[in-house]
Amino acid sequence: MVIKKLFGLGNKAPFRVPREASQLRIRIESENKENFPHLERYKEIARDAEPVYRILDRVIVEKEYADEARKLQEDIKKKLAVLAEKIRNNIQEAKRESSADYVEKNIDYLERKSMRNSAKDLFTEFLQAHEVFMDCFLQVRTKPCDAIDTASSETLRILSDLNDNYFKQYGLDKEIQGLKEHALTKVADLDSVFEAHKARLDQLGLGARIEPNVKKIREAARKLSAS
């Protein structure tokens, strides 16, 4: 026994959580964060939990990681129980209130969620345009980047859309606030990277082509920050 401890013999490797169990737990935790989790989604998750339990049962039978698998299984069941209780409480609340009030609450929640998803989709487009724009001066080039004007225009258009349709209207929403802060950070990154490469770009004759676009985006970000 002493020899095994000295040379690390007999020590088992850390328990690797099955991918199915990890994904299921993330889904449950995500649903638990919702103010009004849906019963149908809960039922779907509960159905998907059954094969995960069977996977963990097999691990328990094999004994080597029985304790870890048992604790994981209990944790998943506990989180599902919390989710079920939350849904039951919402249903009871709906019965106490008028059905119209409950429907209005859910509609407001779903509309806000849809708004956030639309903002995230638009923000993804901004990141893509931003990446193309930055690539034009991150890489050493011997001729102007053909995509620079298009990428700049797209970046400006999307920033304007985000500001007009989301940042101004839903500025108090934490997720929308996060997108705005992320957008300002990305523009600041673009600005600093351009300044770091400006001398090289001027040598290549590209600085004069790129700098006006950088200034336009910088100005758009300044207005965005002030709004």
| Average pLDDT over every residue of 60-87 | 90
pTM for the structure as a whole: 0.50
Burial label for 124, CB within 10 Å (0-12, 13-18, 19+), is exposed
DSSP 167: I
Asked if 152 and 133 count as a contact pair (C-beta separation under 8 A), the reply is yes
Asked if 120 and 180 count as a contact pair (C-beta separation under 8 A), the reply is no
Mean pLDDT of the chain: 80
Q: What is the pLDDT of residues 159-217, one digit of tens each?
A: 888 988 888 888 888 888 889 999 899 888 888 888 888 888 788 777 777 888 888 88
| Residue 5 CB contacts under 8 Å (≥ 6 apart), including other chains | none
| Residue 97 CB contacts under 8 Å (≥ 6 apart), including other chains | none
Tokens of 27: 């889904």
Per cent of the chain over pLDDT 70 is 83
Q: What is the pLDDT of residues 130-165, one digit of tens each?
A: 888 887 777 655 455 667 778 888 888 898 889 888
